[in-house]
Amino acid sequence: MIILILNSGSSSVKYQLWDTENGGMKAKGLVSRIGIDGPMLEHYVGGKKYKFTPNEIIDHKKGIELALNALVDSEYGVLENIDSIEAVGHRVVHGGEAFAKSALIDDEVIKAIRECIPLAPLHNPPNLIGIEACKEILKNIPQVAVFDTAFHQTMEPYAYIYAIPYEMYEKYRIRRYGFHGTSHYYVANRAAEMLGQPIEKLKIITAHLGNGASIAAVDGGKSVDTSMGFTPLEGLVMGTRCGDIDPAVVLFIIKQTELSPQETDNLLNKKSGLRGISGVSSDFRDILEAAASGNERAKLARDVYVYRIGKYIGAYIAAMGGADAVVFTAGAGENSPILRKMVLEKLNFFGLEIDDEKNEAAVGVEADISSESAKIKTLVIPTNEELVIAQETERIVGKIL
């Protein structure tokens, strides 16, 4: 099936063109700075990059049209014409409690995604704009929504309810939702394949350590707990997000600094995390470099980041009553042997032991880096959220064709 995969952000659209029967991803690209100065289209095909800088890209519809033009171009395109596209798969950030699975998009689904806007005010609106733009451009081509939250809908109430008055849940749906679900789902299932065992029999901890970072406990293939919560701010320390914090700190900051709620939100989401502690960068590579050259705050940022990940792994071993494997994925998880070594050092007593050589060699590739005597396996698995979106789209659209 020929599938267009879209990830629409506030001023950008990431796209991939997949042919699920012939080798997977054929081309990909990014339309950025939509509606603002200096818009750009970066298109990648056959290992080559093509860059275009039109005067303006007024809206997402125009941006998606430009991407489609690139995909059918005689020089750098991969399609004869737009009609070859059989389905569109959208990454949608928040499906609330309405979606425990991916969904074929119709008016009801659009309404339900719209109802989740208060839960994800920055993400769901551009996701919807991408869906509406495709409806206009691609007319009756079926579209599927794949939700970041869906995989975590299997959590039990005791794992997702916050201990605040229950009316807050009933009235405003305040609870843990969790994010990065597509990634946690992919790497957990891939881990089971690598271990040669049915996922139903495995307890797996998946650590998605990118710019945004979250960790999940996956018991028998189901997410039973995850570190991100009502929003993607909770849990691990991230590039610019604070992760777990005493909620009273937020009120204290507002009172003491006279920052507005909006400015405080910005402080916690954009100015905290690795960037906030180090004052150096939000990028983990920069932090490692600065720490190695003696920058004390970069060292502290690194140590807080590493400590928090280890603490969660320990917590999730307890939450599941054991674990068979820990999986590292996303930018830092896939590519940083030193991070994995630092995280696991304190967890040896659980039977988490890695082979240094295997760890050093595992950069951006799938690998089992456990030592011979390890009781819990450690795996490195590059994530592939687009593959899951393509598979989900094909599965759902296949049913109606």
- Binding-site ranges for ligand AMP (CB under 6 A): 210-211, 239, 283-285, 288, 330-332, 335-336
Q: By Cβ distance, which residue is nearest to ligand AMP?
A: 331
Closest CA to 379 of 225, 178, 186: 186
Task: Give the whole-angstrom CA distance, residue 4 versus residue 14.
Answer: 10
Write the DSSP assignment of 125-144 as a string of letters. Answer: HHHHHHHHHHHHHHTT--EE
Q: Which is nearer to ligand AMP, 127 or 183 (CB)?
A: 183
Start-end of H helices in 34-151: 60-72, 107-115, 124-138
Indicate which residue of 37, 83, 148, 219 is catalytic.
148
191 near 183, Cβ under 8 Å? no
- Smaller CB distance to ligand AMP: residue 8 or 20? 8
111 vs 285, beta carbon nearer ligand AMP: 285
Smallest distance from ligand AMP to CB 188, Å: 17
d(CA 45, CA 10): 25
Rounded Cα distance, 319 and 76, in Å = 50
- How far is it, in rounded angstroms, from Cα 206 to Cα 221? 11
Which residues contact residue 267 at a Cβ distance below 8 angstroms, ignoring those fewer than 6 apart? 253, 259
Least distance to ligand AMP from the beta carbon of 194, Å? 20
Residue 73 a catalytic site member: no
**Shortest spacing between CB 44 and ligand AMP, in angstroms:** 16
Nearer to ligand AMP, 43 or 275 (CB): 275
Confirm if 215 and 205 have CB atoms less than 8 A apart. yes
Residue 43 or 302 having the CB closest to ligand AMP? 302
- DSSP letter (8 states) at residue 211: S
Q: Name the residue nearer to ligand AMP (CB basis): 152 or 340.
A: 340
Strand arrangement, sheet containing 367-368? 222-226, 213-219, 203-209, 325-329, 377-380, 367-368
Residue 119: helix, strand or coil by DSSP? helix
Provide the annotated active-site residues.
148
